[in-house]
Amino acid sequence: MRAALAGLFLVLAGCGDRAAGARPVRIAAASSLAHFLEQVKPGWEGAHPGEILEVSPGASSTLARQLFEGAEADVFLSADRDSLDRAGERVRRETRRILYANRLAAVGVDAPSLATLATAIALAACGGGEADDGEPFSLTLDFYVNPDHAGVFTALERGYFDEVGLDVNPQVPSDPAAPIKQVAAGRTDLAISYEPEVILARDQGLDVVAVAALVNGPLTSLISLPEAGIETAADLASKTVVTAGIPYQAAYLETILRRAGVDPESVDLVDVGFNLMPPVISGRADAMFGGFLNVEGVDLAERGLDPRVVPVDRLGIPTYDELVLVADRERVESDPEPIRAFLAALERGTYAAARNPQ
């Protein structure tokens, strides 16, 4: 995206001079573009004597709100169409120009003269060319693809990540316990994991942070079928329980068992990774701990098996964010803009999925 923008400014400098403006050309720009705009600013001003570019960076949604409420700017640069449309409500349609070819949107706002507005018009007229493929951005999922990832895949399908200049590549982990380790090792840009896992990882010295919540309440559940005869946690004594091998879930289960007066050593815990359902359906296991109420719980119900699904917050575990997006702390501090862009596109995808669940 930045390479494409560089081309735009270089071509724009040769599109013809205009009369010197009485004041700076004020550009409200998404934060992800601000650093680049500052880089091209000297070249632009050198090619246009008397012209000064004044860049005001910020989050697209914040800038759009400020512009809508009356803040002054000549050009608004954003890759977020919702913010673009909100800011554009103050601009006559015939003065609006939107540049899609380079995944960049430009709107002239409150322009005092046609000369100043020509900056935005020239940006669209001189742009053209093929769109780049976007900045590669890897996302490691927490599990196999399931309804909790609806926002991610809706954003992919609708091109929201493309619009913010990211080529997002979701990957299913080989091990449900692996995503945070991959983030810490620098092998993925973001990972979906569990809030308790972030805490455990930091205790172990991994320098990772949660940057957003994908699911802000518990989904992890104790799930069994009626024939297992498990009514409460106390009934787990001498039973076989399968888990996904995720450390925090083992810690939660131990706490639940002790609160119920059950010796954890009396329960046969079997790590089956992703394969939680087959042992329960076949009767080789009495229950699963770590299945989600909205994934395995729903799947078993749709099979007509009448599962008993008890979320952990009904078993004495305090509430928490089940799924969070995890990043390397140093990456967040040194290069936050791709992550911010990802979160903005994901938010759009999540709202779109909620509005159109089918």
Burial letters 94-126, b for 16+ CB under 10 A, else e: eebbebeebbbbbbbbbbeeeebbbbbbbbbeb
- Break the chain into its structural domains and give their ranges: 2-125, 135-216+322-355, 220-314
| Rounded to 5°, angle at Cα 133 from 131 and 139 | 145
Q: What is the pLDDT of residue 26?
A: 78
Q: Which CATH class is domain 2-125?
A: alpha beta
Give the model's pLDDT for residue 265: 95
Nearest in space to 307 (alpha carbons), one of 287, 327, 328, 321: 287
Output the tens digit of pLDDT for each of the chain's 358 residues: 333 333 333 222 333 344 444 467 777 777 666 655 665 566 556 655 677 778 887 777 777 777 777 777 777 776 555 666 666 555 544 444 443 333 344 444 443 333 333 343 334 334 434 445 689 999 999 998 999 999 999 999 999 999 999 999 999 998 888 999 999 999 999 999 999 999 999 999 999 999 999 999 999 999 999 999 999 999 999 999 999 999 898 899 999 999 999 999 999 999 998 899 999 999 999 999 999 999 999 999 999 999 999 999 999 999 999 999 999 999 999 999 999 999 999 999 999 999 987 6
DSSP letters, 67-93, are HHTT---SEEEES-HHHHHHHHTTS-G
Do the domains 220-314 and 2-125 match in fold?
yes
Q: For domain 220-314, give its CATH number from 3.30.420.40, 3.30.70.1450, 3.30.56.10, 3.40.190.10.
A: 3.40.190.10
Task: Indicate the pTM of the whole model.
Answer: 0.63
Sheet with 75-78, strands from edge to edge, namely: 53-58, 25-30, 75-78, 105-107
At 115 the pLDDT is: 36
Cβ 211 vs Cβ 332: under 8 Å? yes
Task: Give CATH for domain 135-216+322-355.
Answer: 3.40.190.10
pLDDT of residue 36: 55
Q: For the residues of 113-137, what is the DSSP string, one character each?
A: SHHHHHHHHHHHHS--SPPP--EEE
